[in-house]
Chain A
Amino acid sequence: MSNHKPIVTYCGDEALFSALSAGLTCALPKEEVEWRRSYGRVPKTVNLDVIFIKFSVECLPKHPNLSVLDQPVFHIFWTDCSDIDIYRATTKDEISNWHTTLRNNGIIDWLIVVVLNSDSKRGKKSNILPRTSVVDKVKGDFCSKQNDRCFVLHEPFRSDVKSAESWQTFLQRLRHLILQGLNRNLSHFEENMRSQREKRTEPGWSFCNYFMLQEELAMVFEMMGQFEDALVQYDELDALFTQYVVNCSAGDMADWMVSFMRPCVCWDGLTLSPDLRYAKRENIQQAQSHLLDFRNYLFACQVALILKLQRPWEVAQRSLPFMHNCVNELCLLEIAMPRGSVSCWVFLSCLEVLDTCENYSNLVEFETYSLHTVSLWNYARIKLHELGELCGLMPDTESTSDQLHMVVDLLAGMGQTQSGNSGKPGPMDKLREALSSKESFKKHYLELSELAMGTFKHLGRLRNARLIGIELAAFFMKLGELYMAENYLLEALKMYKNEGWDLLATTTYISLAECHKKQKNTFKYVKACTHVTSSCVIDGDTRNHYFDELISAAQLLDKTVRIRAEHIFALSKMDVTAANGIILGDEVTVDFCIISRLPSDVMCNIACSLLHTAFEGQSDDGERPSSRTTSRSASQSSMGSMGSFMDSLSLSNSRSKMLPGNLIRKPKLRIQETIDEATGTAYVVCRNASAVLERMDSHPSLIQKDTDATKEDFVCCLQAAAIVLHPGSNLVPLKVKPEAKGNYALKQVCIEISSMEFLQWVTVPKCFDVICDEPSVSLTPDAGLLAGIVQNVELRIDSGSHGLVEGLVIKMVVSTGLSVQMKTSAATMLAETEDSLRVQLPAVSPGGSIVLPLDIVAALDSHRKHKIMLFCAWSSAPYEFLLSLRSPFTISHSLHTAGQQ
């Protein structure tokens, strides 16, 4: 019905009209004309294309308010009568009859065309009296008040300037008048329509009747080329109907609604080809239409208009909400439909829309266009999947006879309105084929999936693409194509992990675990199991199940599997339990606080590798950084680094809960403390503030790097064997006996459970020093002593790291001229001679010291420098102390002479 045109009747001289009609029909639409409309609506310019029919009484509108299409909007009387007598005899009566008929019917849109030919001109010339020509007569008889209702057309069959002018003027007048007529009819019609709409709450009102009315208005707009306005009419109808459905579901059901709610036996998809629509219109008119038919029809009308507006993407855009709405309405109205039939309808409709859009799409709008089509592809895919499950077409199932019946029933409900396919297989053929066998179902399903996924990827909607990937993976698992499934799962997993969606990642791990299990890849299966069982976002049963799986699968491993442990075991704290430094030969214990996320107890061996660095500038004289506590620059000492570690630990604690396994390597704090004694103030400056306070992004993926688990060198390591780790926090002491002194940094923790090794880097710096100090001896004071009298000096022996056992003997030998005497009960004198002493020392605890007071006397006359040699058991070479003793007095002789006197 898109070929509607305004109808104009002709009457009078038929021969004349048929000679002119061809030119007229062609010329009318060539120029635009302004269409001024009622109710202050914006004027539009339209091209007027009309058809002419012969005037008859029958063709006049009977109910001008009920219809506007298929009814003449304008009437023209043609005459080329030039002789006033003939006019009086016949033409005047003809016109008069015609005019009366029109007037009786209340029609005021008419025009009398008087064609003047050359011979009539001549006649006119001979007649010099005014108001006696035929034209004047016609004007006088019929158009006394409306001069514009009579038009004089000059010699339309000649081609000079004057007749062309006359022709153009005529066309303009005609266009204007026809539009006026049309507008008048339309106003009446719209008024009637409005009053009908107002009656919609009255009993007996029928939506179908009203639909016909407003649709007719839409058709008029379409006829006038006002597709936008026409679309508005359909949209209004759509909204009105939707409101009725909503009301209906709320219990307020209109009587006419019943016919829409009959059980559905036909679920043909949309048919968008225009020639098939109109059979459905009849059904609606007779209230024979089903909800689905009606919706199909309405949407098809909307689509036709949108396509005329050259907006194919809008078709795609509207389709999805349309289908969702229909499915919802079927649901709301509780319309009985066989299982699967709605899916069939959606699938068919999607494909029909996509087929139609494809014909109209161009590359310029491809992006916008595919943005909408992709959801349609996806929707069709989902529905096909539903159908596949329903009909037993999934690869892992065999269809039962019930399911076969269902397929037959579903197919029977389609194809009642034949889609006009032109050699190309239509949506119906595709669905038939897809439901025919498992093999072809697979083919179609995969094709749709690839298409939807590919388009999503192209549009940058990766999350949607991954979701399809997951569903595809499930399909491939059923097919037994595990490799494909694994790939899709890994892709999705990567995204979920990077974006920190734990539940999704864990769910993907479960699928992945199943996939690996089917692949019999114990190695990967174990890894996947660890992720599932350690996840805190899923229920305990699943975790326990995968824990059992993990333990039993680990028995089957033929080689060790190394797994990063961050997600399973968290290190919350490591304490080195030695306050005063660790002495070589001692056993070092580091208390690890390990949080196990496994759901059950597990027996394991734990080790932590150590990185050994010798002290800088280390030598046997023990110049360790013993003065570290006095050092003002905290970063220089290991103590300081521990202090800063505590800071960084507390900073990162909250974060590490959220991001298991992140690698936060905080730089050491370089803090300088300055005390200004003059003013009594102190202040601290952080030298590397920019490095320490570096912006930390809360995005997990930026920090968490998924590197492979590589095992460190565990030659030197802290160890604990056969430890039972309970779920939650565990305090495990790890022990080592260092074999060399130096600094030991904790590097990597390895938790070994049967043949699995869970590796985790120690991400916060943690270290301890192993020291080994020899005993040392000093003698004070060694200067400022006087010879000749008894002097008190002290021999101090520091025991060193290991202390001194009881009974060690030291021997002191002094140089000649010096005598030494010990006056203490702290040590036992073994032998005492003039120049040597042998003393047995008591036990001295590590880090302790013993002080032996000595009396020394140097001979006055001996040389001033003396030497004391000390032979100790712990040192191969003797200690030497040099003493310089001053004489208490000096003697000088001087003789003063005065020369010759």
Chain B
Amino acid sequence: MAVCVAVIAKENYPLYIKTLPNENELKFHYTVHTSLDVIEERIHSVSKNTNDLRELYLGLLYPTEDYKVYGYVTNSRIKFIIVIESTNATIRDNEIRSMFRKLHNAYTDMVCNPFYTNGDIIEST
């Protein structure tokens, strides 16, 4: 299971960050924030190379000793980040992809809500 899920706005401020309740939230804020460096690198390197439809899933952004950070960027540059514990060897790449797809769908549903203003902090119930 993921230990942290984050949705980051186009301008790189957090729209939503949720960590497991018993985890150190601050640590994940740092992790997610620094992973934006890698995401930006990936986005730029891709946009330089091709004008084709971009693969939204960015894959493993960078591993740390304890965690693996995965990234996903929508076409409107909303970033999704999922952090998994390194010791969790059971989660395969495909499962991560499907997690991102679900997250993307959930986000799309939320944006479709007419009472949501684009760019507002997301509150989950």
Interface on A for B, CB 8 Å cutoff? 246, 249, 320-321, 323-324, 327-328, 331-332, 375, 379, 460-464, 467, 496, 499-501, 503-504, 507, 654-655, 658, 697-701
Contact = CB atoms under 8 A, between A and B. Distances in A.
Contact of A320 (B13, B14, B38, B63): B63
B74 interface: no
Interface string B1-30: 000000001111110000000000110011
Nearest to B118: A698
Contacts of B86: 324, 328
Given A500-B13, A700-B11, A462 B37 contact: yes
Contacts of B10: 698
A328 B89 CA distance: 10
B9 A501 contact: no
B52 interface: no
Contacts of A500: 9, 11-14
B120 A321 contact: no
B63 A504 contact: no
A654 B117 contact: yes
B120 A501 contact: no
Contacts of B33: 463, 467, 496, 499, 501, 504
Contacts of B29: 501, 503-504
B64 interface: yes
B120 A467 contact: no
Contact of A499 (B11, B62, B65, B117): B11
Contacts of A464: 34, 37
A463 B36 contact: yes
A653 to B, nearest CB: 10
A463 B34 contact: yes
Given A328-B87, A463-B34, A507-B26, A698 B65 contact: no
Contacts of B58: none
B62 A375 contact: yes
Contact of B30 (A323, A467, A697): A467
A61 to B, nearest CB: 41
A16 B81 CA distance: 73
A532 B7 CA distance: 25
A880 to B, nearest CB: 64
Nearest to B85: A328
Contact of A699 (B11, B37, B62): B11
B103 interface: no
B63 A499 contact: no
Contacts of B14: 500-501
Given A467-B30, A698-B11, A698-B119, A332 B87 contact: yes
B121 interface: yes
A512 to B, nearest CB: 15
A412 to B, nearest CB: 25
B119 A327 contact: no
Contacts of B41: 460-461
- Give the interface size class of chain B: 20 to 34
**The 9 nearest A-B residue pairs measured at CB:** A500-B13, A698-B119, A699-B11, A461-B37, A463-B34, A463-B37, A499-B12, A464-B34, A246-B89
A324 B64 contact: yes
A654 B36 CA distance: 26
Given A246-B89, A467-B30, A501-B29, A324 B37 contact: no
B30 A658 contact: no
Contacts of A496: 33
Given A504-B30, A700-B13, A331 B37 contact: no
A332 B25 CA distance: 25
Of B13, B38, B87, B119, most buried by chain A (CB within 10 Å of CB) is B13
A647 to B, nearest CB: 16
B23 to A, nearest CB: 14
Contacts of B30: 467, 504
A452 to B, nearest CB: 12
Contacts of B89: 246, 249
Contacts of A379: 65
Contacts of B36: 463
A659 to B, nearest CB: 9
10 contacts: A324-B86, A375-B62, A461-B38, A501-B14, A503-B25, A503-B26, A654-B117, A655-B119, A658-B121, A697-B11
A331 B87 contact: yes
A514 B87 CA distance: 36
B113 to A, nearest CB: 13
Contacts of A461: 34, 37-38, 41
Nearest to B38: A461
Contact of B65 (A246, A324, A655): A324
Contact of A327 (B26, B37, B38, B65): B65
Contacts of A320: 63
A499 B36 CA distance: 11
Given A463-B33, A698-B118, 11 more contacts: A321-B63, A323-B65, A324-B63, A328-B86, A328-B87, A332-B87, A461-B34, A463-B34, A500-B14, A501-B13, A504-B29
A496 B33 CA distance: 9
Contact of A698 (B9, B37, B38, B64): B9
Nearest to B31: A467
Contacts of B12: 499-500
Contacts of B120: 654, 658
Contacts of B62: 375
A441 to B, nearest CB: 21
Nearest to B62: A375
A592 B25 CA distance: 37
A393 to B, nearest CB: 21
Contacts of A701: 11
A701 B86 CA distance: 35
B55 to A, nearest CB: 20
Of B12, B65, B120, most buried by chain A (CB within 10 Å of CB) is B65
Contacts of A699: 11, 13
B44 to A, nearest CB: 9
Interface in B66-120: 86-87, 89, 117-120
A697 B65 CA distance: 38
A331 B64 CA distance: 15
Contacts of A331: 87
Nearest to B11: A699
Contacts of A332: 87
Contacts of A460: 37, 41
B24 to A, nearest CB: 11
A461 B36 CA distance: 9
A460 B34 CA distance: 12
Contacts of A499: 11-13, 33
A773 B9 CA distance: 56
A845 to B, nearest CB: 48
Contacts of B119: 655, 658, 698
A496 B30 CA distance: 10
A473 B95 CA distance: 39
A697 B13 CA distance: 13
